[in-house]
Amino acid sequence: MHVGTSQVLSNKLKEEIWSHKDEVDTIIGYILEGDGHHGSYKRLARITDGFGHRVSGSEALEDSIDFVMAEMEAEGFTNVHGEDFQMPNWQRGEDSCELIEPRRVKMPLLASGSSISTPLGGITAEVVVVRSFDELADLDRSETEGKIVVYNQPYEGYGTSTAYRGHGATKASEKGAVAALVRSITQFSVNSPHTGQQYYQEGVEDIPTGCITVEDAEMLWRMQESGQSMVIHLDMTSLTDGMMTTRNLVGDLEGTSFPDEYVVVGGHLDSWDVGTGAMDDGGGCAISWEAMVIIKKLGLTPKRTLRTVLWSAEEQGLLGGVAYYEQNQDLVPNVSIMMESDSGTFRPLGIGFSGSDEARAIMREILDMTSALNATQLGSEGSSPDTGDWVRAGVPGGNLINQNDDYFIFHHSEGDRMTVQDADEMDLCTALWTSVAYVVADLDELLPREDNSRK
């Protein structure tokens, strides 16, 4: 949503902001027409084609972190390092789901993150299908005890529908179910399941859970509506093998006047273990890394440090974002803005922003300088998955608003590969992301706040 601001900036501050117009034009021209053309797309392809999916805990993720760190060091960035943290070592095994009655149908299945395995030999049980938690609650326990609960919930947007994947197993277990299967969270399906994290609840028995396709969930619902009894055989071998160490990745382009103050840009480098994480969230990582590269190549020297952070274990419950905040929260007074791109890098529309009215007015002026990109919307929410703790602590937050209507068609599925990405659209995203980060980093003062987070 486009949000205006009534805050009036001083002429002096406006002049300072607009004094960067030539540099912004140079950045845009370099990316759209110069040597930076398709740079972020090529950078992303090197990661996704070279390492494939990068689920946290995998060798592929750790190798990709090593690769990016080596590249950053070769490109002349400073303070390039990994920051370790602990996470559960969940490993996907083999996932198998077959309808046995009223006819035999093999159904594509992806275990949800952190799901336990089925008992040895699997589970064979009758099925009950519900369309909502309310429908489940209305059933007598005798109607669900010992059965597999299937959720055929309608798609009502990711924020609403994802509750079924996240908490469906717990709610089914409370009714005596032996497993839960969830309709994939997407508005359009080509018989491909979409995975994601789920969360058990202490005091409720853990049961295996996974995501099936929209098509199969709807088929099971129709069978139930026609009065047919259904039996499914489920075999899953996922497990959590204790705790393990992974890393967030950090690299800096040191500021000339205020090296201990920061503008942070980033995305999460981990992905799920399907597709190659090109969209979620390789694109956000690529435009953030490329922003530092472009600013350095153009010889621009922002006053404060531009930092790229590539988080890990976002998909397992924002673990990397939480760890980075806990390990670096002493920097809260010194961070001008935290910018994360984690909702696609399709045609950019503008920047979502959380901050004071005065800071919003500054962002309005900066976006007006990028009008050549036709991406001047200033949204009302700048918090992102890995930056939420920072924004709640008073740090201004920014994210990329883009034309991502089809995002959840590919999200967490085999379809999240480079074919989803468009090199020209990524250039536009990179130009906007780089321009905003550069101008904020080169202002005489940090973005103003209304709270006490700098005292």
- How many domains are contained in the chain? 2
Please say if 218 is a catalytic residue. no
Please tell me whether residues 67 and 118 are part of one structural domain: no
Q: Which residues of the chain have pLDDT under 50?
A: 1-2, 455
State which residues form the domain around 413: 11-90+243-442
Please tell me whether residues 48 and 102 are part of one structural domain: no
How many angstroms separate the CA atoms of 307 and 254, rounded?
8
Please tell me whether residues 315 and 389 are part of one structural domain: yes
Please tell me whether residues 98 and 84 are part of one structural domain: no
> Residue 265 maps to which CATH number?
3.40.630.10
Q: Say what the pLDDT of residue 1 is.
A: 45
Q: Does residue 454 belong to any structural domain of this protein?
A: no
The domain boundary, picked from 182, 211, 237, lies at: 237
Residue 176: count other Cβ atoms within 10 Å of its Cβ. Answer: 16
Structural Rg of the chain based on CA atoms:
24
How many angstroms separate the CA atoms of 222 and 34, rounded?
56
Q: Does residue 453 belong to any structural domain of this protein?
A: no
> Residue 134 maps to which CATH number?
3.50.30.30
Q: Does residue 450 belong to any structural domain of this protein?
A: no
Please tell me whether residues 54 and 188 are part of one structural domain: no
The domain boundary, picked from 237, 263, 290, lies at: 237
Please tell me whether residues 85 and 166 are part of one structural domain: no
Find, among 312, 302, 314, 325, the residue nearest to 252 by Cα: 302
The domain boundary, picked from 205, 237, 269, lies at: 237
Q: Say what the pLDDT of residue 81 is.
A: 99
Please tell me whether residues 287 and 218 are part of one structural domain: no
Q: Does residue 420 belong to any structural domain of this protein?
A: yes
Q: Does residue 346 belong to any structural domain of this protein?
A: yes
CA 396 from centre of chain: 19
Please tell me whether residues 156 and 86 are part of one structural domain: no
Q: Does residue 52 belong to any structural domain of this protein?
A: yes
For 267-292, the pLDDT digits (tens) are 999 999 999 999 999 999 999 999 99
CA 337 from centre of chain: 18
Q: Say what the pLDDT of residue 7 is.
A: 76
Please tell me whether residues 134 and 181 are part of one structural domain: yes
Please tell me whether residues 248 and 178 are part of one structural domain: no
Please tell me whether residues 83 and 108 are part of one structural domain: no
Q: Considering 314, 340, 414, 425, which one is annotated as catalytic?
A: 314
Find, among 53, 41, 68, 47, the residue nearest to 309 by Cα: 68
For 342-387, the pLDDT digits (tens) are 999 999 999 999 999 999 999 999 999 999 999 999 999 999 999 9
Find, among 217, 68, 220, the residue nearest to 154 by Cα: 217
Please tell me whether residues 391 and 269 are part of one structural domain: yes
Q: Does residue 27 belong to any structural domain of this protein?
A: yes
CA–CA distances in Å: residue 434 to residues 26, 154, 273, 311, 356: 11, 39, 30, 19, 22
Q: Does residue 447 belong to any structural domain of this protein?
A: no
Helix-strand-coil split of the chain, %, nearest 5: 40, 25, 40
* Widest distance between CA atoms in the chain: 75
- What is the Cβ-side half-sphere exposure of residue 24, based on CA atoms within 13 angstroms? 24
Amino acid at 411: H
